[in-house]
Structure 1
Amino acid sequence: MNPLKVYQWHCQPQFFRISRNTPLLSISPGLKFPLKTFTPPSFFNLLLLSSFRPSLKISCVSRAETSFFDNKQEDDSANRLSKLEDLAQNGVVYQNTLRLVECSMFAAVTGLVYFLSNSLSIENYFGCFFSLPIVISSMRWGVAAGRKTVVATAMLLLVLSGPLKALTYLLTHGILGFTMGSMWRLGADWSLSIFLCTIARSMGAMGYVITSSFLIRENILALITINIHASLTLIFTAIGINTIPSMNVIYAIFGTLLLLNSGFFVFLLHLLYSVFLARLGMKDSLRLPRWLEKAL
């Protein structure tokens, strides 16, 4: 036995070298091969041997790192989110949303009821309630909310029934409801409120007469004044007064009757709406006369 070869074999690094011709199952840990039979291992054999090696799990402790957001930035972001998404019951976002929903609901209900009442010819039975949603919106959310309710109702009627019905509602009920709601919201006396509402009702009635005259190509205002003139002439003749009233007197009588009619209607609306709103729990927001406050 050549001692030089033995010395060289012991000095080499101790790792397995598998021959390409040697089967993998015949290898045992204690088997020694001659030096000349060892060849460089293939990649496939190394891959098979690596699957049998024991794996050691090395655990390490991660170092503590500072967070990306500090406390100041978190507080600023939280305050910013609280301002943008303040959904509390007394928050700005919640109140604006509630105001928008209520105004839309009142406008939709008013437009639908007015449309159905005109379609079924029962407008005279529900005419006193068409201004109530506008008054409630103005009392709860301010004058701007009442104005938005009027505009939304008129636009809805414009889509459903056309411009004539929308203009009729605006002249007969919209202006009156907005005026009454604004006066009640501002805390005005009943005398001032009734006076301004009477003027608004009279102007709306005159506007409705003028609009109707334009549509039917007939002067309805002239027909009304002529009929009043003829009626007064017959009355004076029956009494024995040989006087023919002038047209200025006829116009004055017509204006007085219109104001009286509007005034009585507005006064009844004030009574009706006061009782209705008091039953709804809004009595503290109303400025009622003493006799009516004692009765309620």
Structure 2
Amino acid sequence: MAYVNNIRMFVRVYELGNMSAAARDQRTSPAVASSRIAELERHLGVRLFNRTTRALHATEHGQLFYDGALGILDAIETAEATVMEASQSPRGTLFVSAPLGLGRRIIAPAVPRFKKMYPDIDIRLRLSDRLVDVTAEGLDLAFHLGTLSDSDLKVRMIADCPRHLVAAPSYIARRGNPVDGATLVQDKHDCLNLRFPGAREFQWTLQTADGPRRYEISGPFESDDGDVLTQWALDGCGVILKPEFEVAEHLRTGALVPVAVATPPYPTQLACLSPSRRFRDPKVQLFSGFMIAHCRERLASA
């Protein structure tokens, strides 16, 4: 296994371009990562990376070895998946990511039930509203809300999620209830924004009689945590755009009410993503199938 672990480390260093990042990805120290690369280079008799004080770049030999290394790891993972499938005893660790709201309300509560069904599978769940690079971050599965860009990832669509523009009654009493997106902008309503590194400019695409229209919005507050925005809205600080499942209870109680109803937001897509070479893993298929069914059930009852 030592040689296989060295190859796994090489692949992650190659893909991440950073020894420390690869070490974190493989749950080890930079010193161990460096020693594994050095051992692999000694075995092959070539230098795989050129190192400078600021950067690490694959040599020509490293570039050639990368494609072969992927093939080796893919063959091992396929063989392991075949054995686990035949033995009907999948085991190992899954690294999963999800947006904060979805993860806290829907994904995380169901993980213990999955663990009881498959006690030999461990789950490492990461929650974040930022954009996630599934491959670079070494994830087995990622739940994604929003428009999907073209990629080599395997995609399983889960559901279309209705969304709403909402605000607290106290905010509406102070600023009024905008009729539509145009009023929202013209009257300079306080829009509470989700902001994280790499986020796009603040635009809300709403449904109008003439089709989709983008509105440039602004506001006094922003956060990279969607639940923080919801709390600010509950406190009367402004308007938020949210999936229905995140604000359904607040809508039922009247703590939040719809605004700009003449131009509602479009639904957003919820999907499950997985790197192509991990898609056959029985652990991945079991967890994704379980969670997809669970998500659809919960969203239908929201």
**Relative to total residues, which structure has the larger helix share, 1 or 2?**
1
Q: TM-score, normalised by structure 1?
A: 0.18
Q: Which has the higher contact order (CA 8 A, sep 6+)?
A: 2
Structure whose residues are more often strand by fraction: 2
Structure with higher Rg: it is 1
Structure 2 length-normalised TM:
0.18
